[in-house]
Amino acid sequence: MRILAVFLVIPLALGMAFAKQEKIVIDFEDGKLDDWEVIDEKPQNLGDPGPSTWQIRKSQLGLDGNVLYQGSNIWGSAQDSCLMGTFIIYKAQKFIDFVIDVDVAAADNDGMGLVWAFEGTDRHYRVIMINDSWPDIPVDGIKGPFIRIDKRISDDEPWYEKLAVIKDGYTPYPEQTPMHWRLEVKGGKFRFERDDGLTIEAEDHTYKEGYVGIQLYAQQAEFDNFTITPLAPSAAGPAGKLAAVWGDIKRAR
C-alpha cells in the first residue's frame, strides 16, 4: 500500500509543479498595481528620506504607452551603504526557476536592478548596477560604477554577501534611453544580461523560491513589459528532486 501511495502522490506533485508554466506579461496598460507591494528601506535618514513614489504613467523616456515609474530620490539608511532604497515586489506568485524580461529607461545614474527569492529586506537576491561612483565609503570596499549580484543575509552588518561583481569591465547603462534586461534563474545559477551585451553570472545552490521584483537606489526610472516565464523545474529544485525519485521508482519496478 505504501508503494501504491508513492505512485499516486509523486505524479500528482509533478503534475502540479509543471502545471504552472504559463508566461506572465505585465504591460501596465490597465493602470493597476494590485499585485505589487512597495517596500522602502527604513530608517530613511540619508539623501531623500522618501517615501518612494511608484506609480503608473505614460512613458516620458521612450518606452511604449503606460509604464511603471518611480520618481523619488530615495536612498537608504546611513549605516547601510549597500544601495538599498526602495523595492516593488510582484506578490501574486512565488517562483524558483524562471526568466524575467523587462524594458527599462533610466532618468539618473544611480542604482537599479532586479530582485528574486524575495522574502523581505533581510532575505533576497539581487542584481544591481550603478553608473555613479557612490558610495564614498562602501562597506565591502567596492565603489561604483559596477554591476553585481548579491545575496541579502541580514538587515544588519554585513547585510549582503557578494556573489559576483564586474567593476573594471563595467559598461555604464544608457541614461534617458530605453534598454532591455533579461534575468535567468535556474538550478542555483543566475545570469543577467543587458541588450548592450553586458552579462554577469553567479551561483548559489542554497537559494529557495520567493517573490520577484525591482529595486532602485536614488534612481528615477521607467519599466514596461515585465515578463516572467517560469521554467521547467531543474534537478536542483523541489520538483526536479521529485522527478528524480519518480525515475528511480520506475527503474526499480
Residue 157 has pLDDT above 90, yes or no: no
**Once rounded to an integer, what is the mean pLDDT over residues 121-150?**
90
**Predicted pLDDT of residue 217:** 93
The count of C-alpha atoms lying within 13 angstroms of the C-alpha of 121, restricted to the half-sphere facing its C-beta, is 20
Please check whether residue 100 is in contact with residue 90, taking contact to mean a CB–CB distance below 8 angstroms: no
- pLDDT over 50 (residue 243): no
Grid coordinates given for 194: 543587458
Return the pLDDT at 238: 47
- The average pLDDT across 18-42 equals 88
- How far apart (Å, rounded) are the C-alpha atoms in residues 169 and 198? 9
pLDDT per position as a tens digit, 2-15:
444 444 444 444 44
Is residue 34 packed enough to be buried (19+ CB in 10 Å), middle (13-18) or exposed (0-12)?
exposed
The percentage of the chain sitting over the pLDDT mark of 90, rounded to a whole number, equals 65
Q: 197 — alpha (psi -120 to 50), left (phi > 0) or beta?
A: left
Query: How sure is the predictor about 48, in pLDDT bands with cuts at 50, 70 and 90?
Result: low
The answer to whether the beta carbons of residues 163 and 202 sit under 8 Å apart is yes
**Three-state DSSP class for residue 176:** coil
Q: Over the stretch 159-179, which tens digit does the pLDDT of each residue have?
A: 888 999 999 999 999 999 999
Q: DSSP strand E in the chain: where?
A: 24-26, 36-40, 46-47, 55-58, 66-70, 74-76, 86-95, 98-106, 111-120, 123-130, 146-152, 160-166, 179-186, 189-194, 199-203, 210-217, 221-230
- Rounded CA separation 212/209 (Å): 9
Q: Of 90-104, 105-119, 217-231, 232-246, which gets the smallest average pLDDT?
A: 232-246
The average confidence (pLDDT) of the chain is 85
